[in-house]
Chain A
Amino acid sequence: DAGVIQSPRHEVTEMGQEVTLRCKPISGHDYLFWYRQTMMRGLELLIYFNNNVPIDDSGMPEDRFSAKMPNASFSTLKIQPSEPRDSAVYFCASSSLRGPIEAFFGQGTRLTVV
């Protein structure tokens, strides 16, 4: 398996634009997590899914953020409209409780909103 794949790796967008981040988890993993990392707040959990169902979205900062997981192999995190304070690195991770609880992280998407 190629690991957790995120795209794009870098995104620069203007304030007010819609941004969509994508994640392909490791095949067979039934948990998918979206995290955000900033200098000020470190790593924060935004939302996680179990078997494609959102379980906890309490970390989603506001209604401008939404996440979907239409199937077991794909998830999106959307920001609409984007703001400069959304600039951060967004990580996707997947894991499975059927095996060892090992979380595998994607390389992250560095988002800059200007």
Chain B
Amino acid sequence: KNEVEQSPQNLTAQEGEFITINCSYSVGISALHWLQQHPGGGIVSLFMLSSGKKKHGRLIATINIQEKHSSLHITASHPRDSAVYICAPHTDKLIFGTGTRLQVF
């Protein structure tokens, strides 16, 4: 079983929709990153969180340490949000989910 599970793997949405991407992990962590990778390939760290909730613009990330689960929400989605979103728990190193490919039309 993978240490990190993301769902869904692929997601298609219409502009304006509310989007949720889920991440479950089985290891003990000190923090968890949500990364964004655009078609050009560069990776950007969106959030690093170790508890509770963080908000940045239209993006919201939450984490429940007890349940070993994190979610990334995008409100009022836009075509420029189209990218691969990767959950990366931080143990003594980063481990990665398989990513969620989001396309917003």
A44 contact set on B, CB distance < 8 A: 96
- Say which size band chain A's interface belongs to: 20 to 34
**Complex A-B: 15 CB contacts under 8 Å:** A33-B94, A42-B98, A42-B99, A43-B86, A45-B93, A45-B95, A48-B93, A56-B92, A93-B94, A101-B50, A101-B90, A102-B48, A103-B33, A105-B43, A110-B41
How many contacts between A and B, using CB within 8 angstroms? Answer: 48
B12-54 contacts to A, CB under 8 A, are 30-31, 33, 35, 41-45, 48, 50
Query: Is B93 touching A33 in the complex (CB atoms < 8 A)?
Result: yes
A51-98 contacts to B, CB under 8 A, are 55-56, 89, 91, 93
Bitwise, B86-105 to A at CB < 8 A (1) or not (0) is 10101011111011000000
Of B41, B92, B94, which one neighbours A89 at CB under 8 angstroms? B41
Instruction: Decide yes or no: A45 and B94 within 8 Å by CB, A101-B31, A101-B48 being known contacts.
Output: yes
